[in-house]
Structure 1
Amino acid sequence: MARVIPNYSLYGDQALPGWQLTFDFEWIPQRSRPYNWDIRPHTHDAFLQILCLRNGSAEVLLEQGRVQAQAPCVLLIPAQTVHGFRFSTDVDGPVVTAAQRLLESMATVVMPELLQTIRTPAVISLAGMERELESLMPLFLALERESRGQAIGRVAAGVSLLTALLVQIARLRHIEQSAPMSANSRKAAKIEKFRALVDEHFRQHLPMQAYASQLGITPGQLTRLCREVLGMSSLDVINARLIHEAQRDLVYTRNSIKQLGHTLGFADEAYFGRFFRKHTGLAPREFRARALEAMLSPDAAGMQKFTPPTL
């Protein structure tokens, strides 16, 4: 039986759709202490996380590979990466959770090479690099202030600070290589390449053979690899990408259902509707109506009212 990897927005919370959360700031002990410092393997559907260990240590699970992380260090966990932590009880440092697609859009405009940093898991030691650590902490603290406040331009400021933080991490990668992973990192590398191919071609509805050929494996091997690492089939990965894009377009564009289905590569509106309902339990129009109603609700908790089913 395939393993089921929990999918959270923040560890211990039910996952939110990728179009809701922009960024969240916490200190590592806030969420880790209640779980006895042991964060079990899970994923975040649409969010990346950046952690900075100032004190303590952690055993880090990244896509089946285990890494020992010792403070000071920086950890970057992209969306849909299976990860878990076993922290020491003296651990301390900030952790930021942010919508990855928004940051990728920003990177595409201001620094395309930053996309590789955003999409690649990393554990970067800062031992002997006090100046680099000092350059990171003001950005984390500024993000904390933005996350706590309600000032105008909060999202714009947060995205700008996050972009600056990712630029610093990209620079660190040129200074020091990430800590080595286990031999199973080869599997993780193939999964990351598969995801990159899906991001590039999901609208074209390519046959699985096309993806497998570019990875140098058979379709059966690709599905087995996805089930082993992600707990889902290769087809599930592609379908999840389509559904995520469809949900975002339904919420953030005024395109008709027919237009939206066409941009996602579906032959007709009815076929797209059946596909969407199969994977979310709702018709596209019903999803759009509920999502917009939740977003426009005067209730302060309105955004929490509607969480559509996920794959």
Structure 2
Amino acid sequence: MAFRASTAKPARRSVHNVALYGESGEQPAWADLVHIERIPERSSLFDWEIDLHFHDALIQVLYVTQGGGEAFIDEVRWSLAPPCLIVVPARSVHGFSFHSDVDGPVITAAQKPLESLAATAAPELLAHIHRPVVLRVDPASRHAQALMPLFEAIDRESQVHTAGRVAAGMSLLVALFVQVARIGEVALSAAESARSRRAAQIEHFRALLDARFRLREPTQRYADELGITLGQLTRLCRDVLGMSTQDAVNARVVHEAQRELVYSSLSIKQVAAELGFEDEAYFGRFFKKHTGHRPTEFREMARRQLAAR
């Protein structure tokens, strides 16, 4: 899945255009086209803090296999927990705050040649090349198992100074982005599945409310019926309905009380009993707390408004 990101910004400093962090950005082109090293090789030189910078024509792919930290990409803060992939396209302003035990490979490559090759071989990869992202990697997935062999193959090619080195390196990088795309699709599918599951759960909760709100049951009973914890139900209600579980139950009771008061001839005591209140006075206090009116006041006001229409 994609990691949750926030828009909290690190302290803003001057942002430099560099080739590799800590080196001059004056080179007109990336000489080797594909460069690979371990994350600690460079970050350890700067006490694991990489200030905001960007690469004018270079894309980076980091595979954090150990440690973690935070990434700041285009003013978005990402939490890093291994294993995860980080894609930083050209001209994306980024920085890192790594834990001292961080490890994993990082690839820096010329983006234009990669785009050209991808446009011919797999145009659908271009969106993944252009989008900054941090992706959680499931170590047990077949896509994850394909990652490290590709990084290792790219490393071997980077050390071979013979004909075809650049073509092989770029081709392997395209193959790596195939895995990035597949992991991204799994993350999207998982997110859609989670949204679908949450939608089903909230509909079930609403159905339970309609059937049982008169029983005045504790919210734990609703969670038990849904097969989730009360904490999970509370988070679900807050995320989807914008209120706590208890507030959702109370809102349903108030809605029914208002309907009964306006459209039925039941006495206040009878309405209270219908809604599961044993004490009419307690029902009156409950109703006023949530509407600002006593039941009799609300009934008179609502019926006057209906008569005036």
Q: Give RMSD over aligned pairs.
A: 2.1
Normalised to the residue count of structure 1, the TM-score between the two structures is 0.55
SS state at 1:162 partner: helix
Amino acid at match of 1:48: I
Q: After superposition, where does 1:1-20 map in structure 2 within 5 Å? A: 4-15=14-25, 16-18=27-29, 20=31
Give the number of aligned pairs.
179
Amino acid at match of 1:10: L
Determine if the alignment matches structure 1 residue 173 to structure 2 residue 200.
no
1:102-126 C-alpha deviation (Å, 9 max, x unpaired): 0000011111111101000010001
CA–CA distance in 2 between the matches of 1:45 and 1:164? Answer: 23
1:109-159 C-alpha deviation (Å, 9 max, x unpaired): 111111101000010001454432221000000111111221321111101
Q: CA deviation at 1:21?
A: 4.1
Q: CA deviation at 1:5?
A: 1.2
1:68 to 66, 73, 79: 79
1:272-292 C-alpha deviation (Å, 9 max, x unpaired): xxxxxxxxxxxxxxxxxxxxx
SS state at 1:113 partner: helix
Kindly indicate whether the alpha-carbon contact (under 8 Å) linking 1:39 and 1:86 is maintained by their aligned counterparts in 2. Answer: yes
Kindly indicate whether the alpha-carbon contact (under 8 Å) linking 1:18 and 1:45 is maintained by their aligned counterparts in 2. Answer: no
CA–CA distance in 1 between the matches of 2:15 and 2:94? Answer: 10
SS state at 1:90 partner: coil
SS state at 1:142 partner: helix
Alpha-carbon spacing, 1:12–1:177, altered in 2? closer, same or farther (3 Å): farther
Partner in structure 2 of residue 56 of structure 1: 67
CA–CA distance in 1 between the matches of 2:20 and 2:141? Answer: 29
Alpha-carbon spacing, 1:46–1:29, altered in 2? closer, same or farther (3 Å): same
Which protein is bigger by CA-based radius of gyration?
2
CA–CA distance in 1 between the matches of 2:155 and 2:30? Answer: 21
Kindly indicate whether the alpha-carbon contact (under 8 Å) linking 1:71 and 1:127 is maintained by their aligned counterparts in 2. Answer: no
Normalised to the residue count of structure 2, the TM-score between the two structures is 0.55
1:41 to 52, 60, 63: 52
Q: CA deviation at 1:177?
A: 4.1
Alpha-carbon spacing, 1:166–1:9, altered in 2? closer, same or farther (3 Å): same
1:192-214 C-alpha deviation (Å, 9 max, x unpaired): xxxxxxxxxxxxxxxxxxxxxxx
Q: Which runs of 5+ in 2 are unaligned?
A: 1-11, 192-309
CA–CA distance in 2 between the matches of 1:129 and 1:76? Answer: 21
